Amino acid sequence: MLREVTEYFILNNFSVSVIGRDIQKLNYFTDKFPGKKTIDLISQDYCDTESFIKAVDTNIKLHGIFDIVISWLHSNANNSLLQLIDVLAKYNSKTIFYHIKGSASSSLAQTKSNLFNNKLDYREISLGFKIENNSSRWLTNTEISNGIIDAYMSKKTKYVVGQIEPTDRRP
């Protein structure tokens, strides 16, 4: 779902690190952009908190601290999310941290927002839905990616892609 966001940053000559489990899927980026030397693929399960944090830490030591992090972690990895914030903050509190929240975002992620904000340049992007022809549907991957790029360009600290209300119109 964040593939096109990743491509946006690659095409804009950012040095980009991508985390996912399946190296075949990750290879998509180096296959598509063979001329770009700044794509780092990290095959890692973010639910394995210890290995995940170690992988991030190693990446920072190799390439330097991230200017921007775009984070989409499922709610079963809240511990990894909190530790990710801590390891980033240890290096630099100026990292812009985009926390992508799905429609079923966990309460833990919501209540910890203030804590995040003290440590990093914390920004939230909520993924909503669309109402078209009086029926509602979830966002497409392209709409999600474009929304995240718009959020980045706008520099807003809170951004909603699509709409999150009225809640009784959720698909």
Ligand X SMILES: NC(=O)c1ccc[n+]([C@@H]2O[C@H](COP(=O)([O-])OP(=O)(O)OC[C@H]3O[C@@H](n4cnc5c(N)ncnc54)[C@H](OP(=O)(O)O)[C@@H]3O)[C@@H](O)[C@H]2O)c1
Residue numbers of the site for ligand X (CB under 6 A)?
Answer: 1, 19-22, 25, 45-47, 102-103, 127-129, 138-139, 141
CB-wise, 6 or 95, nearer to ligand X? 6
CB 73 to ligand X: min, Å:
8
Q: What is the dihedral of CA 103, 108, 110, 111, to 10 degrees?
A: 160
CB-wise, 89 or 102, nearer to ligand X? 102
CB-wise, 47 or 92, nearer to ligand X? 47
CB 126 to ligand X: min, Å:
8
CB 76 to ligand X: min, Å:
8
DSSP-derived pairing of the beta strands 96-101 and 121-127: parallel
Task: Give the Cα separation of 158 and 171 in Å (integer).
Answer: 23
Cβ-count burial 105-119 (b if 16+ within 10 Å, e if not): eeeebeebeeebeee
